[in-house]
Chain A
Amino acid sequence: MPLTRREFLKVTGVGLAAGSLGMLGFGASGVAQAAAVRPFKLAHTTETRNTCTYCSVACGILIYSMGDRAKNALSNIIHIEGDPDHPVNRGTLCPKGSALLDIVHAPTRLKAPRYRKPGGTEFEEVSWDFALDRIARLMKEDRDKHFITQNAAGTTVNRWTSTGMLAASASSNETAYLTWKVARSLGMVVFDNQARV
């Protein structure tokens, strides 16, 4: 027995007269239906699987956006819900996850690095180059000052406890591996990322 009844898949052009409607004497119904839909347009939505950004539980979510990615320039997220097929949460979301649509559209959402000068009162937008250079510089200074090579008993520990890192959820194995390597190779111990889960 063929598993796929491929013949069923080739139904294409809707031949009203030739189909069940026409042959049974209900052709007028088909014509009326075709006329009835003429004034209407199709609305396109895209459903996209993603992972909640909040915590390392990494619940599956379905994101609905207007338009299909191919045709429309405007693509606006209109709804987010739990993914019922995701084995972690089976469609459920916590209150934070349920409010994801609001952080997507929040006017205060952070979209670029911002910097407040020492003694300054306002944040200003800066370039990624500036931000990364500045972070690297401060990390280096802090590490040089506070790196602990040996504990009180004289055992070598090589730990850096004055700076911590909280990394993202929804990481792949590779991302988790690299995050781990970067943070631990600096001696950082105040550290959490999804590899823990």
Chain B
Amino acid sequence: MKQAEAPPDASWSGPSHAGVKSPSPIVTPDPALRFAATAARLDQLAAGHPMEPWLRFVARLSRAQHAVATTLAPAAILSAADVTRATEARLPPLAADGHPRAPSWREALTTLLNHISVEPDSPVGANTPVGANTSVGANTPVGANTPVGADSSAKNLHETPLPPATLNAITQLRTSDTTTLETLANNFLRGHIPLSDTAATIFIVAALQVYFTGSAARLAASDLRLLEERALCPCCGSPSVAGIITATGLIPGTRYLYCSMCSTAWNHTRAVCVTCGGTRKVSLQGIEGDPGVVKVEACADCHTYSKLLYQVRDTQVDPYADDLASYGLDLMVSEEGFARHAPNPLLLTGDSEEDIG
């Protein structure tokens, strides 16, 4: 009898697979679920949260992203040869700051701005996650499940009008020409964001996330290869927003980092600093007495930290939503003198005199 094979006379109650398997190195995103899941989770987390108006706004933004991601596909199509050439050179095939963006991403931006600026009462405002994560009652406390149909009226109560600064940013983008939009995107992807563009950048980011997620979804995980620089996405070369410690799957307990642009997840060894690869001075920090869903892994060698989300503590955890909702932990850890490994592109922070990002 082979190891872990079912014994002849009894039903095997152990793992369904024989032997010890390694985790999938790369998981490509599903654009039909990605933004809807984030929106649903944000709505769930927003109730009673100190940053409720902000989280509701990002939820609204994610719903707009979902609408764009599921109605049009503004994605780059890479040939198999291009993918092979990049992976053989250990480069990301969809390099966010290198590859020639398809102009369709601007179409995504236009549609996104139309969706977000529609006030909640009108029909498009109700264009909320359908099909994805419908079991999560968006406005109910954690654990309570209501059908999604029931919460559309409740949601409108929470959707306050957009602040004037946000509306200005939307107007600014609507009246910008192609060159300006491309410059804004390039500035963001190359990490130089002038202070005056911070507000507009969030919508550029949202459109680019849809574009890159759609493009990454067209690639097969088996064609991709982890980069030597494990902190960067093997698909588009961007940094991660957060890591999830899985609780399910073939090997529970593995860490997957989630790409801030293309939503690809990739495996990263645990208890190793994401920024510098150091292991000696890495410590886990969390808020004392909280449920332990979110922690940071802080490295005293390079003085950076990255977030860890424990799926075993909350099965509905979403890397993008929970990262934003745990901004309080970021504040506490930065007070200890640690810098974030990479920002969440929807929540850029910076000193008032310098460039953001």
Residues of A within 8 A of B (CB): 1-21, 23-26, 28-30, 32-37, 40-49, 62, 64, 68-70, 81-85, 87-92
With beta carbons under 8 angstroms apart, the residue of B51, B252, B254, B329 that contacts A29 is: B51
Residue B346 interfacial (CB < 8 Å): yes
A25 touches B283 (CB 8 A): no
A9-B339 contact, Cβ under 8 Å, with A26-B53, A37-B287: yes
Smallest CB-CB A-B distances: 4 pairs: A7-B191, A25-B163, A25-B165, A1-B98
With both beta carbons as reference points, the residue of chain A lying nearest to B330 in the complex is identified as A14
With beta carbons under 8 angstroms apart, the residue of A9, A40, A84 that contacts B304 is: A9
In Å, the complex CA distance between A33 and B327 comes to 7
A20 touches B199 (CB 8 A): yes
Q: Looking at A17, A25, A68, which has the most chain B CB atoms within 10 Å of its CB?
A: A25
In Å, the complex CA distance between A14 and B333 comes to 11
By a CB distance below 8 angstroms, the chain A residues around B199 are 20, 23-24
- 24 residue pairs A–B, Cβ–Cβ below 8 Å: A1-B91, A1-B95, A2-B97, A5-B190, A5-B232, A7-B192, A11-B339, A15-B352, A19-B198, A20-B347, A25-B166, A33-B331, A34-B328, A37-B287, A37-B329, A43-B285, A46-B283, A46-B284, A47-B270, A84-B254, A85-B254, A85-B270, A90-B251, A91-B252
By a CB distance below 8 angstroms, the chain B residues around A91 are 251-254
Count of chain B residues near A, Cβ 8 A:
82
Q: Looking at B227, B330, B356, which has the most chain A CB atoms within 10 Å of its CB?
A: B356
With beta carbons under 8 angstroms apart, the residue of B253, B286, B295, B356 that contacts A84 is: B253
B281 touches A70 (CB 8 A): yes
Residue B22 interfacial (CB < 8 Å): yes
In Å, the complex CA distance between A45 and B51 comes to 27
B91 touches A40 (CB 8 A): no
In Å, the complex CA distance between A9 and B302 comes to 11
With both beta carbons as reference points, the residue of chain A lying nearest to B51 in the complex is identified as A29
Number of A-B contacts (CB under 8 A): 211
Residue B243 interfacial (CB < 8 Å): no
In Å, the complex CA distance between A48 and B23 comes to 21
As a 0/1 sequence over residues 195 to 238 of chain B, the CB contacts with chain A under 8 angstroms (1 = contact) are 10011011000000000000000000000000101011000011
B residues 83-111 touching A (CB-CB < 8 Å):
91, 95, 97-98
By a CB distance below 8 angstroms, the chain B residues around A32 are 50-51
Q: Quote the shortest CB–CB distance from B138 to chain A (angstroms).
A: 19
By a CB distance below 8 angstroms, the chain A residues around B201 are 20
Q: Quote the shortest CB–CB distance from B307 to chain A (angstroms).
A: 14
Residue B177 interfacial (CB < 8 Å): no
A5-B97 contact, Cβ under 8 Å, with A24-B166, A90-B20: yes
Q: Quote the shortest CB–CB distance from A95 to chain B (angstroms).
A: 13
As a 0/1 sequence over residues 271 to 286 of chain B, the CB contacts with chain A under 8 angstroms (1 = contact) are 1000100010111111
By a CB distance below 8 angstroms, the chain B residues around A33 are 50-51, 327-328, 331
Q: Quote the shortest CB–CB distance from B189 to chain A (angstroms).
A: 8
In Å, the complex CA distance between A34 and B51 comes to 10
By a CB distance below 8 angstroms, the chain B residues around A30 are 51, 54, 327
Residue B31 interfacial (CB < 8 Å): no
Residue B9 interfacial (CB < 8 Å): no
In Å, the complex CA distance between A70 and B282 comes to 10
By a CB distance below 8 angstroms, the chain A residues around B331 are 14, 33-34, 37
Residue B320 interfacial (CB < 8 Å): no
By a CB distance below 8 angstroms, the chain A residues around B348 are 11, 19-20
By a CB distance below 8 angstroms, the chain A residues around B285 are 42-45
In Å, the complex CA distance between A91 and B254 comes to 8
Q: Quote the shortest CB–CB distance from A70 to chain B (angstroms).
A: 7
A12-B284 contact, Cβ under 8 Å, with A3-B227, A7-B357: no
A15 touches B191 (CB 8 A): no
B50 touches A36 (CB 8 A): yes
A29-B50 contact, Cβ under 8 Å, with A11-B343, A24-B166: yes
B341 touches A62 (CB 8 A): no
